[in-house]
A and B are shown apart, each in its own frame.
Chain A
Amino acid sequence: MATEGLVRTGISAGQEAIGAFARRHRHHPLEALPWAAAVAAFAVFPSYLPLGSQILATILFALSADLVLGYAGIVTLGHAAFFGTGAYTAGILAANGWGEPITGLLAATAVAALVGLLSGFVVLRTTGLALLMQTLVVATLLHEAANKASFITGGDDGLQGMDVWPIFGLFRFDLFGRTAYVYCLVVLFLGWWVARRVVHSPFGRSLTGIRENVLRMHAIGAPVVRRRLVIYTISAALAGTSGALIAQTTQFVGLGTLSLDRSGGVLIMLIIGGVGRIYGAFIGVPLYMIAQDRFSEIQPVYWYFWIGLLMVLVVRFGRGGVLGLFDRLRR
């Protein structure tokens, strides 16, 4: 019976799709790769550990940006607002007599989440250019505030005199950056775990729905506004954690943590790796930061030219970044 066969293949195809859907939150063996690479880098490049911990912290920042940009489809030019808030919170605590790193990190995360919640309440009411402009205004506002409140932030000179205590009172931040590297790696792992859980939860699926078709999500009764606000807050919190990591490990916070350069830079790193796929951050950030470390010392200004050109070329030819390229090769 032809029809029966057809129905049966239809059913099995359906089951296969359901199976694939159910399996996709499970851990793929390849997902161990970045962690293996990070541990290997610790052993192989002992003299590059300070750069390594910067890269790890920035991966967390890019990951947080991927949550709003790649999954919720909110294009932002002001993600540095939360990064800088976290950095300054941790920095000001450490410079004023509370150098305990873990509580500092948690405080920075909480403050950044609060800033995300409050600004998201205003910003997410709009879309398109107006939204873009408001994210930029929030970051510029905080930049200006940090610049003018120099009695507490150090203003243009940056925040100096941070004293970060040993982790758990045991592990000092050493000169070679070993403690900093492991600290960043552990925090990144926790952040990645949170992000992965969020993305693969029903909540994360509904975010993708909002990105792809807002009207439809409204129509089926999904609380669109609240969900966007929640992911914006989660993302802001993770960005704050990342900023605090950089502040604690470098023992310095500058106005650059709140700048448009940083907001734009994280977008570029994500695009190079691939947006909306969690692991884009793990590829784009190291590529960008290692290249910057190599080339920008020679001629810092012209570094911008090549980055700009790269962005134009990626938009023109290379959608999906490095990971997108792999997808296309596999097909």
Chain B
Amino acid sequence: MSDTFSAVVSIGFHGIAFAMVLYLISVGLSVTMGMMGFVNLAHGVFAMLGGYVLTSLMNRLGVPFALALAGAAVATAVASVLIERLLYRRLYGGDELDQVLLTMGLIFMSVAGATYFWGPVQQPMFPPRWLSGQIDFGFRSFPGYRSFLILCGAALVTVLWLGLERTSFGVQIRAAVDNLRMAQSVGINTSRLFTLTFALGSGLAGLGGALGADLLAINPSYALDNLVYFLIVVAVGGLGSIRGPFFAALLLGIADTGFKYLLPELGAFFIYALTMAILLWRPRGLFGRV
């Protein structure tokens, strides 16, 4: 196999794994943004929380990987419902600046809080034994945990998309994103729908943060450092879209991995330039409605 081909396969593989993590974390942000018009910059805090719950459960208490993953998702969802009910709810449809300030405040508090509980150092994440090492796919072998990430992400995306198309909860979400007042008029309980959607989105973010704990390192400034990635996925994908962010995440994941591999000295510079170019061409994102 030639070196070029090998490099392309490698970039594609790692890029897709990264994209899965980015999508799982960001999709909830896109939906809450589209449905409630709420600028939730603190969305990354939920992903960070998921990562901390997973690493703590596994490293300190010896909980099995699968159980720890579930724990991360559930804990994040519960925490997010509390925050939504106490703080966010009052600001729906309100001033954008208020939302930005409130959620930036939460990010700052999360930085200090995480340092207080877990210390300033990065939390190591050890994949379970059955996923560490290489998996042989016949023509070449791939790292086991990344392969698992891709499969797991693909399965979750399929379930999510089917759920939105086929279940009545999914129909309600799509209705509320399309036209909130009309959805209320036909008798959808949007208040409860907001809370449930928010919990679902945050739970997915927690799961994404936990699954991606070895890609996006779990440390106290997680929500601040990765904010720009999550915002790029949502804005390039198109606000309120559920599929848009998937393709944006794929683009970002593969481009980021590729540029860092091919031109390490220019780092993430190209990603940001590419983002600006895409939004210059399509200000509402690739899949945004006009």
Contact = CB atoms under 8 A, between A and B. Distances in A.
B38 to A, nearest CB: 9
Contacts of B39: 128-129, 132
B127 to A, nearest CB: 30
Interface in B86-137: 87, 90-91, 96-98, 100-102, 104-113, 115-116, 120
17 contacts: A125-B279, A129-B235, A130-B279, A130-B283, A130-B285, A132-B39, A134-B275, A141-B272, A148-B266, A148-B269, A260-B224, A264-B104, A304-B111, A311-B108, A312-B105, A316-B87, A319-B98
B234 interface: yes
A43 B91 CA distance: 46
Contacts of A144: 267-269, 272
Given A122-B276, A130-B283, A311 B96 contact: no
A134 to B, nearest CB: 6
Interface of A: 69, 75, 77, 122, 125-126, 128-130, 132-134, 136-138, 140-141, 144-145, 147-148, 260-261, 264, 267-268, 271, 275, 301-305, 307-312, 314-316, 319
Contacts of B105: 307-312, 315
B269 A141 contact: yes
Contact of B227 (A260, A268, A312): A260
Contacts of B231: 129, 132-133, 136-137
B285 A302 contact: no
Contacts of A311: 101-102, 104-105, 108
Contacts, number: 138
B108 A307 contact: yes
Nearest to B96: A75
B92 to A, nearest CB: 13
Interface residues of B, number: 48
Chain B residues touching A, majority SS: helix
A125 B111 CA distance: 33
Given A301-B112, A301-B120, 18 more contacts: A128-B239, A129-B231, A129-B239, A130-B279, A134-B235, A136-B231, A140-B268, A140-B272, A144-B267, A148-B265, A148-B269, A264-B104, A268-B101, A304-B108, A305-B109, A308-B105, A312-B106, A319-B98
Nearest to A70: B97
A77 B102 contact: no
A62 to B, nearest CB: 15
Contacts of A264: 104, 108
Contacts of A75: 96-97, 100
A261 B225 CA distance: 10
B266 A308 contact: no
A126 B112 CA distance: 33
Contacts of A315: 91, 98, 101-102, 105
Nearest to A121: B280
Contact of B108 (A129, A136, A138, A308): A308
B272 A314 contact: no
List the 5 shortest-distance A-B pairs measured between CB atoms, nearest first: A311-B105, A308-B108, A305-B112, A308-B109, A133-B231
A312 B279 contact: no
Interface of B: 33, 37, 39, 87, 90-91, 96-98, 100-102, 104-113, 115-116, 120, 220, 224, 227-228, 231-232, 234-235, 239, 265-269, 272-273, 275-276, 279-280, 283-285
Contacts of B284: 126, 130
Contacts of A310: 105
Contacts of A136: 227-228, 231
Contacts of B33: 129
A130 B239 contact: yes
A311 B116 CA distance: 20
Contacts of B228: 133, 136-137, 140, 260
B272 A301 contact: no
Contacts of B97: 69, 75, 275
Contacts of A129: 33, 39, 231, 234-235, 239
Contacts of A261: 224
A145 B269 contact: yes
Contacts of B272: 137-138, 140-141, 144
Given A69-B97, A136-B227, A144-B272, A308 B112 contact: yes
A138 B279 CA distance: 12
B87 A133 contact: no
A159 B29 CA distance: 38
Most buried by A among B39, B97, B115, B116: B97
B109 to A, nearest CB: 4
A141 B100 contact: no
